Each structure stands twice: as structure tokens, then as C-alpha cells.
């Protein structure tokens, strides 16, 4: 069913768009992740979508993630594409600084990106340039924060019984409690 392997896909991308690729790795679940810069995002995604051999024609979903410790690359955008003919998935990742959270919108490539991008704007404050209607979607219109960012605690910060340092969490979790 799937004659396309991660190696072949990677080779094909490098052949056509080596300058757009900043790095690549295989995720924990075996799916290829290609990292790119926001300037080349649309170019790379167009290639992945239009190229007859790659044929990643379906945008499964897209989501943002916030790492407050990674200075200059705090916000990560992950685009999940799926090729149904060969049944291969791929993720395209872009890191952007939280101080300048701009990234080109995919609405020209996939109309389905419209609400997905509105959702990530709503929760992370990522500004998708070129989006036709970038408004909050799930939260109230007059909310003035981007609640999925890690600086917004979910629970009362004075609670000590849920401090994850006591439960073997690795990394600097204190950041999220402060």
C-alpha cells in the first residue's frame, strides 16, 4: 500500500526544495517531520501538495505549541499533511518568535485551514498573514489574552500539591507555575 518511505519522501523534497528545508527528523511515532522557515512555508507546502509523487493533498490539522524557554523560537506551528493514495503522513514544522508571531496563512491552499488558523490565533496569538477573517473563534471576542500560552496557569498558583517536581516530571516545570 505504501511504497513511499520517509527516506524517499525526504530525498524528493531535498531534490526540489533543499533550500527550504532547515532540518528533518523522524518523530516518535515514525512520521517524518520537516522543519522549515516561515518565509518558505508556502513554497514547501505547495510542493508537497502539488508534486505528483509526493501528493500530500489533505490537510489533516494544524496546531501551535508554546515553549517559553526557547528564546527566539517560542512558538511552533505543526502542519499535519496526509497522502491518501500512498497512505503516508508528514508533519511540517515552523518555529517563530513569540515577539513577532507572524506566519503566512494556508487558506489559499486549503480552505479548511480557515478555522484551524482562527483557532490557533485564538489560543496562541499566532497571526496568520493573508487570512481573510482572522478573528477569535471559540473564546469571547473581547478576551485580551491568548490562553493556551504557558504563562497562563490553569489552577491557583498557590496550590503546592500539584507541583510536578514531586512527580518526576523532567524539565523546568517551575516556569509554568510562576
Which residues contribute to the site for another protein (CB under 8 A)? 27-29, 31, 57-61, 63, 65-66, 78, 80, 84, 87, 89, 110-112, 114-116, 119, 123, 136-140, 147-148, 154-155, 162, 164, 167-171, 173
Complex with another protein: residue 11 or 70, whichever CB lies closer? 70
SS3 sequence of the chain: CCCCCHHHHHHHHHHHHHHHEEEEEECCCCCEEEEECHHHHHHHHHHHHHCCCCCCCEEEEEEEEECCCCCCCCEEEEEEEEECCCCEEEEEEEEECCCCCEEECCCCCCCCHHHHHHHHHHHHCCEEECCCCCCCCCCCCCCCCCCCCCCCCCCCCCCCCCCHHHHCCCCCCHHHHC
Residue 36 CB, nearest distance to another protein (Å)? 17
Residue 121 CB, nearest distance to another protein (Å)? 13
Residue 15 CB, nearest distance to another protein (Å)? 26
Q: Are strands 21-26 and 32-36 parallel, antiparallel or unpaired?
A: antiparallel
Complex with another protein: residue 16 or 149, whichever CB lies closer? 149
Residue 72 CB, nearest distance to another protein (Å)? 19
Complex with another protein: residue 71 or 87, whichever CB lies closer? 87
DSSP conformation letters of 133-146: T---SSS-TT--S-
Complex with another protein: residue 10 or 57, whichever CB lies closer? 57
Complex with another protein: residue 10 or 16, whichever CB lies closer? 10
Residue 116 CB, nearest distance to another protein (Å)? 7
Amino acid at each position: 500500500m505504501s511504497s513511499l518511505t520517509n527516506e524517499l519522501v525526504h530525498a524528493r523534497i531535498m531534490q526540489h526544495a533543499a533550500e527550504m528545508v532547515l532540518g528533518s527528523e523522524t518523530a516518535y511515532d515514525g512520521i517524518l517531520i520537516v522543519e522549515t522557515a516561515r518565509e518558505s512555508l508556502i513554497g514547501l507546502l505547495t510542493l508537497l501538495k502539488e508534486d505528483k509523487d509526493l501528493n500530500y493533498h489533505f490537510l489533516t490539522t494544524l496546531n501551535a505549541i508554546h515553549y517559553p524557554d526557547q528564546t527566539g523560537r517560542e512558538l511552533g506551528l505543526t502542519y499535519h499533511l496526509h497522502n491518501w493514495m500512498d497512505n503516508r503522513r508528514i508533519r511540517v514544522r515552523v518555529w517563530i518568535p513569540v515577539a513577532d508571531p507572524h506566519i503566512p496563512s494556508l487558506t489559499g491552499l486549503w480552505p479548511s485551514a480557515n478555522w484551524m488558523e482562527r483557532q490557533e490565533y485564538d489560543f496562541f496569538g499566532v497571526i496568520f498573514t493573508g487570512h481573510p477573517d482572522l478573528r477569535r473563534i471559540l473564546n469571547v471576542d473581547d478576551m485580551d489574552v491568548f490562553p493556551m500560552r504557558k504563562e497562563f496557569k490553569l489552577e491557583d498558583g498557590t496550590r503546592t500539591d500539584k507541583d510536578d517536581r514531586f512527580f518526576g516530571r523532567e524539565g523546568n516545570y517551575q516556569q509554568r507555575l510562576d
